[in-house]
Amino acid sequence: MHKIIKTDAEYQEALSRLEALVDASPAIGSSAAEELELLGLLVENYEKTVVEIELPDPIDAIEFRMEQQNLSPRDLIPYLGSRSKVSEILARKRPLTLAMLRALHNGLGIPGKVLLQAEKSAPAEEEEDWGKYPLEEMTKRGWITGSLQSLRGLFAKLPPLVREQVLCHRTEYIRSARTMDRNALAAWTARVIFQAQAMKAVGVYKTGSVTPAFMRELAKQSRRPDGPLAAQNFLRSAGIPLIIEAHLPYTYLDGAAILVIEERPIVGLTLRHDRLDNFWYVLMHEVAHIALHSNLGEAEFIDDLDIETSGDPKEIEADALAGEMLIPADEWKKSAASRSGIPMAAESLAAKLNIHAAIVAGRLRHEKKAFRLFNNLVGHHEVRKHFPDVVWPD
């Protein structure tokens, strides 16, 4: 039990404990969070009555660290949530929240005792407008019971820092020509992460394990009659949960690489298009993000693959790697399948590469923009049937 600080030794000990608690980012309402609040008050009382310490203003400290590390306001978006929030905070028009204080301390190394000066004026969490979430659709699918309390409970199942990341849409990379409903997207992401946490018998993920050899072996699972399930098991054994969850209205996404938990990358697919060729390309694209972009730190790639990349270099890289791992460029160029609409040519190349013919058929359809070609080869209605527990939209 902590008591009033009376000596410098007690003060130094309290400061060490205070910064350790800030580093730990305790969940709101937990005993550690209550200890953090109590220690903050005790330290503040001692400093007011005994110690004459001139601590820098939190905003001044942020600006100093920006100057030290040559950071622009845009570089603060991962910690503060959006360009507008960064602008308002630096202009002292918006208070720092507890979530922001933690992110700044952990990400930029600004001392906790400096940032904690702002804690009194910071709400524990920014008030989320829960009424903007698709409650009716989420209830229909059994994700929640229909109340705002159960909606909050869905997010409460996530680790605190992950929850803040999802709610604040930090470091999201969105590929879409249409405006996505960000609340529905956050709900879908939370559901996928929760399902990944609940998945049993998941192997241990090793950084750098998603190699070209790994991806080609994954592609070979397509030859199996239960290919989509085989892919899920293959990835699970490598510590990468593959979660199938139908998209929510106005999200339009096909898949996502969710890298907000460093030791557990997650692939989420919506099966918006129930075809084998689409399943394998979207899956390989998201796995390519894990291979290429895990070094970005906490990030999420949201992909509507109906559109081209719009010049985004990360999407161009993922497209190129996914395509190469499914059908190597040199094999494609010399194959009759790249020029012919004859099913036998597609099946011949697929057999040579040990992949499903739907992948070859889909490649030719995409390149020629001839989406009626090989209609009997692309595997219509051959994916969702493997995931009967998912509630599919009407």
User: pLDDT digit string (tens) for 239-278?
Assistant: 999 999 999 999 999 999 999 887 889 999 999 999 999 9
Residue 183: both structure tokens together: 């609340």
Percent of the chain with pLDDT over 90: 45
- Look up tokens 């920014």; give the residue: 126
**At 257, which helix (H) or strand (E)?**
strand 255-258
- Looking at residue 380, the DSSP 8-state letter turns out to be B
Axis crossing angle, helix 357-368 with helix 313-326, rounded to the nearest 10 = 130
Backbone angles phi and psi of 338, in degrees to 5: -75, -15
Cα–Cα separations (whole angstroms), residue 310 to 174, 176, 278, 283, 362? 11, 9, 20, 20, 21
Q: Where are the domains of the chain?
A: 8-121, 169-386
Give CA–CA dist 244/66, Å, rounded.
Answer: 41
| pLDDT number for residue 122 | 46
| pLDDT number for residue 50 | 58
| pLDDT number for residue 123 | 44
The Cβ of residue 334 has, within 10 Å, a number of other Cβ atoms equal to: 10
Cα–Cα separations (whole angstroms), residue 268 to 58, 230, 279? 38, 16, 11
Backbone angles phi and psi of 157, in degrees to 5: -75, -15
User: pLDDT digit string (tens) for 56-91?
Assistant: 678 888 888 888 888 888 888 888 877 777 888 888
Which residue ranges of the chain lie beneath pLDDT 50?
A: 51-53, 119-126
Instruction: Look up residue 50 and give its amino acid.
Output: V
- Vertex 159 angle, CA 116 and 88, to 5°: 45
Task: Give which of 290, 289, 282, 367 is closest to 326, Cα–Cα.
Answer: 282
Q: Residue 254 in contact with residue 269, Cβ under 8 Å?
A: yes
Give CA–CA dist 230/193, Å, rounded.
Answer: 21
Axis crossing angle, helix 148-156 with helix 160-168, rounded to the nearest 10 = 120
Radius of gyration of the chain (CA): 25
Give CA–CA dist 2/45, Å, rounded.
Answer: 13
Counting every residue written for the chain, the total comes to: 394
Task: Give which of 341, 363, 359, 339 is closest to 350, Cα–Cα.
Answer: 359
Q: Residue 384 in contact with residue 390, Cβ under 8 Å?
A: yes
Residue 151: both structure tokens together: 């909606």
